[in-house]
Amino acid sequence: ALKKQLHINASTLEEIQARSLVVAKNTEQTEAALTALQQQFIALGEQDPDSRLYQRAAEMIQSGASAEEVMHNCDLPLAEVQLLMNIHQPR
Protein backbone atom coordinates (compact mmCIF):
# COMPACT_ATOMS: atom_id res chain seq x y z
CA ALA A 1 0.00 0.00 0.00
CA LEU A 2 2.87 2.36 0.84
CA LYS A 3 4.64 1.55 -2.45
CA LYS A 4 1.43 2.19 -4.36
CA GLN A 5 0.94 5.56 -2.65
CA LEU A 6 4.57 6.48 -3.35
CA HIS A 7 4.07 5.62 -7.02
CA ILE A 8 0.89 7.73 -7.16
CA ASN A 9 2.68 10.66 -5.50
CA ALA A 10 5.60 10.36 -7.94
CA SER A 11 3.19 10.38 -10.90
CA THR A 12 1.37 13.38 -9.48
CA LEU A 13 4.65 15.22 -9.00
CA GLU A 14 5.69 14.51 -12.61
CA GLU A 15 2.35 15.81 -13.86
CA ILE A 16 2.67 18.97 -11.76
CA GLN A 17 6.20 19.54 -13.07
CA ALA A 18 5.04 19.13 -16.67
CA ARG A 19 2.18 21.57 -16.16
CA SER A 20 4.56 23.99 -14.45
CA LEU A 21 6.77 23.98 -17.55
CA VAL A 22 3.76 24.71 -19.77
CA VAL A 23 2.69 27.59 -17.52
CA ALA A 24 6.24 28.98 -17.55
CA LYS A 25 6.36 28.83 -21.36
CA ASN A 26 2.97 30.52 -21.65
CA THR A 27 4.10 33.21 -19.22
CA GLU A 28 7.21 33.88 -21.31
CA GLN A 29 5.10 34.15 -24.48
CA THR A 30 2.66 36.50 -22.77
CA GLU A 31 5.50 38.68 -21.49
CA ALA A 32 7.00 38.84 -24.99
CA ALA A 33 3.63 39.82 -26.47
CA LEU A 34 3.15 42.46 -23.79
CA THR A 35 6.59 43.91 -24.48
CA ALA A 36 5.79 44.09 -28.20
CA LEU A 37 2.47 45.82 -27.50
CA GLN A 38 4.16 48.31 -25.18
CA GLN A 39 6.69 49.14 -27.90
CA GLN A 40 3.88 49.63 -30.43
CA PHE A 41 2.03 51.86 -27.97
CA ILE A 42 5.14 53.99 -27.43
CA ALA A 43 5.69 54.21 -31.20
CA LEU A 44 2.09 55.33 -31.73
CA GLY A 45 2.50 57.98 -29.06
CA GLU A 46 5.60 59.28 -30.80
CA GLN A 47 3.92 59.46 -34.20
CA ASP A 48 3.46 62.80 -35.83
CA PRO A 49 -0.02 64.10 -34.84
CA ASP A 50 -0.80 64.82 -38.50
CA SER A 51 -0.10 61.22 -39.50
CA ARG A 52 -2.45 60.01 -36.76
CA LEU A 53 -5.08 62.40 -38.10
CA TYR A 54 -4.70 61.01 -41.62
CA GLN A 55 -4.75 57.47 -40.27
CA ARG A 56 -8.03 58.22 -38.48
CA ALA A 57 -9.44 59.76 -41.65
CA ALA A 58 -8.43 56.67 -43.66
CA GLU A 59 -10.11 54.39 -41.11
CA MET A 60 -13.29 56.47 -41.25
CA ILE A 61 -13.31 56.34 -45.05
CA GLN A 62 -12.77 52.58 -45.07
CA SER A 63 -15.73 52.18 -42.71
CA GLY A 64 -17.95 54.17 -45.08
CA ALA A 65 -17.92 57.70 -43.63
CA SER A 66 -18.91 60.55 -45.92
CA ALA A 67 -16.51 63.29 -47.00
CA GLU A 68 -18.36 65.76 -44.77
CA GLU A 69 -18.00 63.48 -41.72
CA VAL A 70 -14.28 63.07 -42.33
CA MET A 71 -13.82 66.82 -42.89
CA HIS A 72 -15.68 67.62 -39.67
CA ASN A 73 -14.08 64.97 -37.44
CA CYS A 74 -10.52 65.27 -38.73
CA ASP A 75 -10.47 69.01 -39.54
CA LEU A 76 -9.22 68.40 -43.07
CA PRO A 77 -9.99 70.41 -46.22
CA LEU A 78 -12.24 68.86 -48.86
CA ALA A 79 -9.41 68.40 -51.38
CA GLU A 80 -7.40 66.29 -48.91
CA VAL A 81 -10.45 64.25 -47.94
CA GLN A 82 -11.23 63.60 -51.61
CA LEU A 83 -7.66 62.45 -52.20
CA LEU A 84 -7.84 60.14 -49.17
CA MET A 85 -11.17 58.80 -50.43
CA ASN A 86 -9.63 57.99 -53.81
CA ILE A 87 -6.89 56.06 -52.03
CA HIS A 88 -8.75 54.37 -49.18
CA GLN A 89 -12.38 54.00 -50.19
CA PRO A 90 -13.46 50.36 -50.49
CA ARG A 91 -14.29 49.45 -54.08
More confident residue, 48 or 4: 4
**33-47 pLDDT per residue, tens:** 999 988 887 777 677
Distance CA 65, CA 42 (A): 28
- pLDDT value at residue 70: 97
- Output the DSSP codes for 3-47: HHHHHHHHHHHHHHHHHHHHHHHHHHHHHHHHHHHHHHHHHHHHS
Average pLDDT, the chain: 91
Of the pLDDT bands very low, low, confident and very high (cuts 50, 70, 90), residue 91 is low
Say if residue 90's pLDDT is above 90: no
SS3 of residue 70 by DSSP: helix
